[in-house]
Structure 1
Amino acid sequence: MSSVRLTTTMREKIAKNALSKSGVTEEINRLQDARNELARDARVFALGGKEKADKADGIILKLNKLAKEFAELGCHADVGTSRSASIYLAVSGRRIGWIHYGKDEKGRDLYLITPHRDLCMFGADHEITKRFDEIADAEAKAEKRKKDIEATVWAALNSVTTIKRLIELWPESKELLPPEAENSRSALPALKVEDLNRMIGLPTEQVA
């Protein structure tokens, strides 16, 4: 029963599970959240602080309400051009480009009053610049780790053609098999895969 062929779809799911197990996927998602938060904070700084940002948000709410009243009268008023889902950021003389604000509780893009890009330039000593550099450095390290894991996992996956052989080669991979794969409980003595297991965090019992 363990001679089930290792399909491309199964390989992709195992590789994805390996990334999730390693914690790198969660780390990349966490850093994306940090980048979104940075964009929102940069917006507040560029608008002159929280009080002014709140005032701007209050004004746009009033304008939207007036636009709705205009529409009820058969007229049209466009007040949405000042809102954006991202901010164009420059730090320490480097134009980073557009950084998204993130999503709301319903998973929709956040659209916020956004200052002109000329106001979104922060010096080397500014808090926004320092935070951006920390996030960018952590992202680079996480992406490198992700690529290293993917390369090593795919090398193992591409070296076999069946679930049985995969488990013989790498017994701990049983934790990574998708539900549709038959999980073999009989494994022959494994090859040395300690480095791969350490990268991903297998087996769970030893990590805990």
Structure 2
Amino acid sequence: MSRLTKDLRERMARCVLNNAFGAKEKEAEQALRLAGDGIYTDIYGPHLKAMQSLPKDWLPMSWYVRIAIAGQNHEIYFSEKRIIGVDQHWYRPKLYVGDEVVCVEYLKAVAVCDDVKKNRQAMDREVEAILNSVQTFKKLWEVWPASKSILEKFESKPTVAMLPAIQFDKVNAVLGLPVEAV
């Protein structure tokens, strides 16, 4: 009977949560990056042809750009590395009021990502509580039988020792066994 260690519980919780939220997180992240691409097009679209005509490595490339929406700073990540106008350590290429279509789409995508993260964190606490309430796999299957389909791969089954096929009759005959008591 295997006991649940802290490390095992953490890996099991991650597995259950990734099964439940993995696809939702990827989908939300992809929507967020597509919204970031929309903001990139809004900022650099009119100048993109001129920017691409410059010599290679003339302008910096980046995975993100920093902007301000309604006075709040945001790092907008793109789906791929793109040419940006200037090194952006402190520079913001555009300041948005917040009611522009690209900003509304981006803020909706941010809200969806935050909602998925919040739901995952809430379920993380629930799953940890369940896993911490039991000490063995046998008890876990009694308490939470629905989890067995996902978590049974963590249960280590004891290995059965494969003994060599020994012909005891031959060994006994050579050794002169059994010895008769006189």
State how many pairs are aligned.
153
CA shift, 1:27, in A, is 1.5
What amino acid maps onto 1:115 in structure 2?
G
How do 1:56-67 residues align onto structure 2 when only pairs under 5 Å count? 56-57=51-52, 59-60=53-54, 63-64=55-56
For the residues of structure 2 that align with 1:37 and 1:56, how far apart are their CA atoms? Answer: 21
CA shift, 1:169, in A, is 0.9
Tell me the alpha carbon deviations over residues 125-183 of structure 1, each in whole angstroms, 9 at most, x when there is no partner: 21121012211221221111101110000001011111111111111110221524258
1:171 — aligned with what? Answer: 145
What amino acid maps onto 2:16 in structure 1?
A
1:95 — aligned with what? Answer: 73
For the residues of structure 2 that align with 1:34 and 1:26, how far apart are their CA atoms? Answer: 12
Percent identity of paired positions between Structure 1 and Structure 2? 20
1:127 — aligned with what? Answer: 101
2:135 — aligned with what? Answer: 161
What amino acid maps onto 2:69 in structure 1?
V
Pair 1:114-2:109 in alignment: no
What amino acid maps onto 2:83 in structure 1?
I
Which SS does the other structure have where 2:98 is aligned? coil
Higher Cα Rg: structure 1 or 2?
2
Gaps of 5+ in 1: 65-78, 104-109, 184-208
2:10 — aligned with what? Answer: 12
Pair 1:38-2:35 in alignment: yes
Which SS does the other structure have where 2:153 is aligned? coil
- Of 158-167 and 116-125, the range deviating more from structure 2: 116-125
For the residues of structure 1 that align with 2:45 and 2:95, how far apart are their CA atoms? Answer: 13
Which SS does the other structure have where 1:165 is aligned? helix
For the residues of structure 1 that align with 2:38 and 2:112, how far apart are their CA atoms? Answer: 19
Which SS does the other structure have where 1:86 is aligned? strand
Which SS does the other structure have where 1:101 is aligned? strand
TM-score, with structure 2 as normaliser: 0.73
Over the aligned positions, Cα root-mean-square deviation in angstroms equals 2.2
For the residues of structure 2 that align with 1:174 and 1:150, how far apart are their CA atoms? Answer: 17
1:85 — aligned with what? Answer: 63
1:138 — aligned with what? Answer: 112
1:28 — aligned with what? Answer: 25
What amino acid maps onto 1:113 in structure 2?
I
The structure-2 alpha-carbon separation of the partners of 1:178 and 1:45, relative to structure 1 and needing over 3 Å to count, comes to farther
Gaps of 5+ in 2: 158-182
Tell me the alpha carbon deviations over residues 10-47 of structure 1, each in whole angstroms, 9 at most, x when there is no partner: 2123212221332x222122222222222222121112
Which SS does the other structure have where 2:42 is aligned? helix
For the residues of structure 1 that align with 2:63 and 2:104, how far apart are their CA atoms? Answer: 23
What amino acid maps onto 2:42 in structure 1?
F
